[in-house]
């Protein structure tokens, strides 16, 4: 268990494409545990591996504080509806912007045992899944925001 350093915008690792995970090793499990620790420590609802400098297709999400979810090699296979709201990111600390996302997504992935899973997500969870999957392709919410990125206090 360890808190890892969160990379912030400007770090080129955030703009790279992450690689598919072929197998889950003990090291992978430690990485996942560290990702959860790092996310909770910063009061985030999601974290993608590149945000701690690891270019692997792994994300962790917990939008309620009670529903930890790990998605390995996630792939969004359905998107529907629309939601528009403020979105933030641990890699853009103290900032947010209005971002429009699908309100409903279906996502295929693998769990920590490399068993295939399919999740359906709505609202905030759908937003988090889209946001974290974007990180795996080097996309930050700034790229798709409806308006300027601003200080949260504004
Ligand atoms: Ni983010």
pLDDT in tens, 31-79: 999 999 999 999 999 999 999 999 999 999 999 999 999 999 999 999 9
List active site positions: 132
Q: Is the pTM above the cut of 0.85?
A: yes
Q: Give CA torsion, residues 133, 104, 70, 9, to 10 deg.
A: 30
Q: Left (φ > 0), alpha (ψ -120 to 50) or beta: where does 14 sit?
A: alpha
Q: Which residues participate in the annotated binding site for Fe cation?
A: 89, 131, 135
Please say if the pLDDT value at position 154 is more than 60.
no
What's the pLDDT score for residue 107? Answer: 98
Q: What percent of the chain has pLDDT over 90?
A: 98
* Mean pLDDT computed over 89-108: 98
What's the gap in Å between 26 CA and the centre of ligand 1?
25
For residue 137, report the distance from its CA to the centre of ligand 1, in Å: 12
3-state secondary structure of 132: helix
Residue 47 CA to ligand 1 centre (angstroms): 6
Known binding-site residues equal 89, 131, 135
How does pLDDT run across 110-127, given as a tens digit for each residue? Answer: 999 999 999 999 999 999
Site of tokens 């915008």: 9
Beta bridge partners of 119: 107
């Amino acid at each position: 268990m360890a808190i890892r350093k969160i990379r912030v915008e400007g770090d080129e690792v955030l703009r790279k494409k992450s690689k598919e995970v072929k197998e889950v090793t003990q090291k992978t499990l430690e990485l996942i545990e560290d990702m959860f620790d790092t996310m909770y420590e910063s009061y985030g609802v999601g974290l993608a591996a590149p945000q701690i400098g690891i270019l692997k297709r792994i994300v962790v999400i917990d939008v309620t504080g009670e529903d930890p979810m790990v998605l390995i090699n996630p792939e969004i296979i359905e998107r529907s509806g629309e939601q528009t709201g403020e979105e933030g990111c641990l890699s853009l600390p103290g900032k947010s912007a209005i971002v429009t996302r699908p309100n409903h997504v279906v996502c295929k992935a693998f769990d920590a045992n490399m068993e295939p899973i399919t999740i359906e997500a709505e609202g905030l969870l759908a937003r988090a899944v889209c946001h974290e999957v974007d990180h795996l392709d080097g996309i930050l919410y700034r790229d798709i925001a409806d308006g300027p990125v601003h200080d949260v206090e504004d």
